Each structure stands twice: as C-alpha cells, then as structure tokens.
C-alpha cells in the first residue's frame, strides 16, 4: 500500500492561476441578461464566482421558472473561450511560485477539463501542471461541496489534513474547509485587486468561509505553505 505523501498544494484555476474572471464576468453578465435574468457584474461576482456552469444554470433556471436553451449556453462557452484566446494572461508570479514549492501541487477547478487545459495552454502554464488537473465534472457535487478537493487528494495520494488549498472564491473556501484542508484565500486577481470595497468585503467573506488568511501576491505562497505546514 502506498503511503500518503507529506503534503499537497491544490490550486484553483480561474482567478488564481489565470486572470480569467474579468473576462468570464463580462461575458456571463451579458449572457444572463440576454436570457432575461437581470444582473450586473457585481451580482455575478457575488452569486456565482467559483461555482460550476451547471450550478449557475440550475440557480438561474430555478429563478426564471424555465430552462435555458442548450445552444445559448454553448454560445456563452464559445464566447468566453474566444475572449480567452485574445485576452487571457497568467496571474503574475504563478510559475515561479509553483517551482519554489517544497511539495507536489495540482489544479482542482469548477471549469470543464477542456477549458482548464485551454486556459493553462495559452498562458504557458500547462506543462507545469499536466497531468494533475481535476475538474468538477469528475464528481457528483461541485464546490462548495468538498468532493472535488477530496478527489484531488485521493488521486495524488495525500492526506486531506495535510493539503493546502489556494482559492479566490467563497465557494472554493467553503469546499476546502469542508474537506478538512487549510485554505489560503487569494485576492491578487484583477477582478478583486484595485477595487478597495470589493477587496475588503471579499477578504472578510473568505475568512468567514474558512480561509486561514488572505494574501495578494503569489510570490508569498511558498513561505506561507511552509508556515502553515509546521
């Protein structure tokens, strides 16, 4: 029987590894309004950041009392990916931070596998994380349920209590806490940083959701991982 490794860092993808949230927020807000679900970008940020498309669609359909056309959702996915191809960049410091970690790491994201790999590929990060990439499509219940993080730990042969989750979303922080893992809340993405009110409010909500602390520079991550692993 293989012994569990001593520790593991689990990265969320959107808003932590790739600066995708401003693009997704913009495209999703426009699409939801076109579906007859009136929201602005702050609403989408507060309600759906970190949740899977399936979870978001279920909430919207329940509110509207009708289903959304599958082709409309396909159009939204294509629009987001097209925008990624033109605009998406890695969050500053990702590669250097990952290379300095003293333990294995992986990705566990609410996005579908194709989108995760596309995002990592066009930002040059895919070789750093492949093949240790886990998607909410691999479990029955996505974030805020702990299933995805527990799956990642199991596949990576790590004890949940020795895992550190790096998350920017409330759903993700709750999932990490429910999995019995240490959560570090990241607020360095451009969808949070620079907006003082949102940064303060989101930091407080991450702590309330279970994050042990919040930080805004990935350069600080290796030392934080060592500190929270003592």
Residue 89 pLDDT greater than 90, yes or no: yes
Q: Residue 136 has what DSSP assignment?
A: G
Give mean pLDDT, residues 195-224: 94
Q: Give the burial class of 159: count Cβ atoms within 10 A of its Cβ; 0-12 exposed, 13-18 middle, 19 or more buried.
A: middle
For the chain, the maximum distance between any two Cα atoms, rounded to a whole number of angstroms, is: 54
Per cent of the chain over pLDDT 90 is 76
The residue-averaged pLDDT of 201-210 equals 96
139 pLDDT above the threshold of 50: yes
Least trusted range by pLDDT, from 59-63, 74-78, 107-111, 132-136: 74-78
For every residue of 53-80, DSSP letters joined together read: HHHHHHHHHHHHTSPPPHHHHHHHHHHH
CATH 1.10.150.240 domain locations along the chain: 21-87
For residues 192 and 86, the model is more confident at 86
Bigger pLDDT: 2 or 45? 45
Which pLDDT score, from 0 to 100, does residue 6 have?
Answer: 66
More confident residue, 197 or 40: 40
Structure tokens at 68: 């959304």
Average pLDDT over residues 86-108: 96
pLDDT for 36 beyond 50: yes
State the pTM of this model. Answer: 0.87
- Which part of the chain has CATH 3.40.50.1000? 8-19+89-228
φ, ψ dihedrals at 185, nearest 5°: -85, 125
Confidence at residue 1, expressed as pLDDT on a 0 to 100 scale: 39
For helices 21-34 and 41-48, the axis angle rounded to 10 degrees is 110
The pLDDT, as a whole number, for residue 192 is 86
Stretch 70-75: mean pLDDT: 85
Q: Which CATH number fits domain 21-87: 1.10.150.240, 1.10.10.10, 1.10.540.10, 1.10.1530.10?
A: 1.10.150.240
* 44-70 per-position pLDDT tens digit: 988 888 777 778 888 999 999 998 888
**Per-residue pLDDT band at 5 (split at 50, 70, 90):** low
Distance CA 48, CA 29 (A): 11
Cα(38)–Cα(181) distance, rounded to whole angstroms? 36
The average confidence (pLDDT) of the chain is 92
List strand residue ranges (DSSP E) for 89-226, in order.
105-109, 133-135, 163-167, 182-186, 213-215
Q: Are 107 and 13 in contact (CB under 8 A)?
A: yes
User: Residue 173: pLDDT band by 50, 70, 90 thresholds?
Assistant: very high
Q: Which residue has the higher pLDDT, 179 or 189?
A: 179
Alpha helical stretches, state H, 68-146: 70-87, 94-100, 113-122, 126-129
Q: How far is CA 148 from CA 62, 140, 208, in A?
A: 24, 9, 21
CATH number of the domain at 8-19+89-228, please? 3.40.50.1000
């Amino acid at each position: 029987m293989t012994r569990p490794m001593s520790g593991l860092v689990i990265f969320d993808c959107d808003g932590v590894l790739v600066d995708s949230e401003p693009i997704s927020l913009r495209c999703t807000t426009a699409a939801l309004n076109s579906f007859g679900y009136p929201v602005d970008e702050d609403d989408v940020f507060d309600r759906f950041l970190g949740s899977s498309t399936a979870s978001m669609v279920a909430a919207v359909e329940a509110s509207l009392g009708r289903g959304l056309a599958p082709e409309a959702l396909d159009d939204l996915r294509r629009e987001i990916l097209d925008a990624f191809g033109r605009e998406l960049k890695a969050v500053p410091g990702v590669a250097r931070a990952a290379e300095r970690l003293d333990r294995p790491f992986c990705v566990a994201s609410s996005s579908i596998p194709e989108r995760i790999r596309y995002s990592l590929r066009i930002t040059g990060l895919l070789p750093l994380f492949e093949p240790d990439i886990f998607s909410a499509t691999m479990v029955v219940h996505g974030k805020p349920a702990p299933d995805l993080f527990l799956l990642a730990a199991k596949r990576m042969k790590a004890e949940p209590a020795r895992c550190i989750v790096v998350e920017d979303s409330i759903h993700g922080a709750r999932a990490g806490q429910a999995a019995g893992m240490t959560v570090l809340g990241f607020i360095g993405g451009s969808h949070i940083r620079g907006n003082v009110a949102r940064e303060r409010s989101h930091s407080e909500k991450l702590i309330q959701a279970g994050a042990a602390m919040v930080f805004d520079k990935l350069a600080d991550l290796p030392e934080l991982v060592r500190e929270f692993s003592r």
